[in-house]
Structure 1
Amino acid sequence: MSNEWLTPSHFVILGLLFGFAIAHSGLAALRPRAEKLVGARLYRVFFALVSLPLAIVLIIYFINHRYDGLQLWQLQGIPGVEIAVWTLSAISFIFLYPATFNLLEIAAIQKPQVHLFETGIIRITRHPQMVGQVIWCVAHALWLGTTFMLVTSAGLILHHLFGVWHGDRRLQARYGESFETLKSRTSIMPFLAIFQGRQTLDIKEFLKPAYVGIVVFVLLLWWAHPILIRATGSIGW
């Protein structure tokens, strides 16, 4: 079988993901020391100025090359597939963006802090962003079916799995025994701690404006998706 399907874009996306992972995780690791030097707000601004451009480049390059490589399956057009992909994507955002509950901290309007939560989505999984990323990758791999998408998914998931280890390590260093207590009552695998009786699920904790914001965001994304595809297509990357 010819390997002409293995386009350079497969390696470029891995390089972009690797660069983003080093910048994002590296800056997270430096946060305790850096905040003592320049302050929490200024460091958050610096973190955003580094991370956001890299993320935007990644998104544009991914959209423009999403059909590169070998087409392993083609499920588009099959009844129910599109709604399944959008449903999975919507669920992934619920897990991916728990940080939206602290928008003022993200924007450095309030002093950014490292929180030790055990409510809401954390009852389901201690690492919701990793779970959300896996769900997002499954949804888009189902829709696209290309080797480029699988390579992208592998890079994203590996980065988030590293983030699980790295995040726990940083919380352990900061909170010590308090984190060990939280760790004993939560799980990485979704719903595992609940099934084992170590945790309970409180639906009322999900009835908050932040979740309404996520729903609105998903609806706006659904509406703007074709516009976003056309806009990125005009960039020759």
Structure 2
Amino acid sequence: MWIGYRDMELTAWLTTSHLIMLGLLLVFSVFHSGLAALRTWGEAKIGVRFYRIFFVLVNLPIAIFLIVYFFYHRYDGLILWQFQEFLAVKVVVWLLSAISFFFLYPSTFNLLEIAAINEPKVHLHKTGILRVCRHPQMVGQVIWCIAHTLWIGSSFTVMTSLILITYHLFAIWHGDYRLEKLYGEQFIYAKQRTSIVPFLAILDGRQTLLLNEFLRPAYVGVFGFILLIWFCHLQLF
């Protein structure tokens, strides 16, 4: 009886929500990377703009559902740590969350292309945030996961963060593989001039950080979005 009770206690953290989130993340990963891999074929069939619209219409609802599901189940399972009463932790979490959005925001800032108003293109540039890191969205996601896992401390959040980070690490390889296959030497040159690890290409002399490249109206939008998220968090809590 004692062994049975102990086993039940150890597995009590594995709630149904853990398994559902695992399934949702796998579905999102398959559709997101799968449709990215089919981009060239799809654009040839239905055109660049329509494929971008199709890509967004498939992935955006899944992403929104993931965010909502995470919000309602973020404290499920075991609470592994609880640091929310410490002011210093609160400040660190807010700072990390704010920094994550500067990486998560699209590096090109071609909002008309994102909305498919202008024809979407692949930009193999090496300026702005790409001087800091070739895969800024991966870095932003990792920072976001660290901040929220530190704040919440539940087994559900730990699992979600680990899966998200693992997927984004896969997406690095997948994205580089696709771009090198499509653009060959042009992408290899861009790859050699940038780094996955933030600031590494700057520290070893392959890049120079030019702050004037960050003086763009889009960053005002990012800052405004951060303030909006901060206000929404206060209202939700």
Q: In structure 1, what is the equivalent of residue 163 of structure 2? A: 155
Counterpart code for 2:25: L
1:20 matched to 2:28: yes
1:112 matched to 2:112: no
Q: Answer yes or no: is the 8 Å Cα contact 1:100–1:210 preserved in 2.
A: no
1:76 matched to 2:84: yes
Q: With CA pairs under 8 Å and 6+ residues apart, which has the higher RCO, 1 or 2?
A: 1
Q: Deviations over 1:202-230 (max 9, x none)?
A: 01101101111100000011112244x47
Distance in structure 1 (CA, Å) of the matches to 2:198 and 2:86: 29
- Sequence identity of aligned pairs in percent? 61
Residue of 125, 130, 151 corresponding to 1:122: 130
Distance in structure 1 (CA, Å) of the matches to 2:164 and 2:111: 24
Q: Deviations over 1:104-137 (max 9, x none)?
A: 0111100011111200000011000111100000
1:195 matched to 2:203: yes
1:170 matched to 2:173: no
Q: In structure 1, what is the equivalent of residue 67 of structure 2? A: 59
Counterpart code for 1:36: A
Runs of 4+ in 1 over 6 A off after TM superposition: none
Deviation at 1:99, TM superposition (A): 4.4
Q: Deviations over 1:65-113 (max 9, x none)?
A: 0000111110001122222111100100100112460110111100011
Q: Deviations over 1:165-217 (max 9, x none)?
A: 01101110121101111111111001111111111110110110111110000
Give the alignment's Cα RMSD to 1 decimal. Answer: 1.2
Q: Deviations over 1:31-85 (max 9, x none)?
A: 0111011001111111111001100110111000000011111000112222211
Distance in structure 2 (CA, Å) of the matches to 1:22 and 1:41: 22
Structure 2 spans left out of the alignment, 5+ residues: 1-5
Q: Answer yes or no: is the 8 Å Cα contact 2:142–2:165 preserved in 1.
A: yes
Q: Answer yes or no: is the 8 Å Cα contact 2:127–2:213 preserved in 1.
A: yes
Q: Based on CA coordinates, which of the two structures has the bigger radius of gyration?
A: 2
Q: In structure 2, what is the equivalent of residue 32 of structure 1? A: 40
- Structure 2 counterpart SS, 1:80: helix
Q: In structure 2, what is the equivalent of residue 6 of structure 1? A: 14
Q: Answer yes or no: is the 8 Å Cα contact 2:131–2:207 preserved in 1.
A: yes
* TM-score normalised by structure 2 residue count: 0.94
Q: In structure 2, what is the equivalent of residue 233 of structure 1? A: none
Q: In structure 2, what is the equivalent of residue 234 of structure 1? A: none
Q: In structure 2, what is the equivalent of residue 43 of structure 1? A: 51
Counterpart code for 1:148: F
Structure 1 spans left out of the alignment, 5+ residues: 231-237
Q: Deviations over 1:132-173 (max 9, x none)?
A: 100000000110011111100011111101110011011101
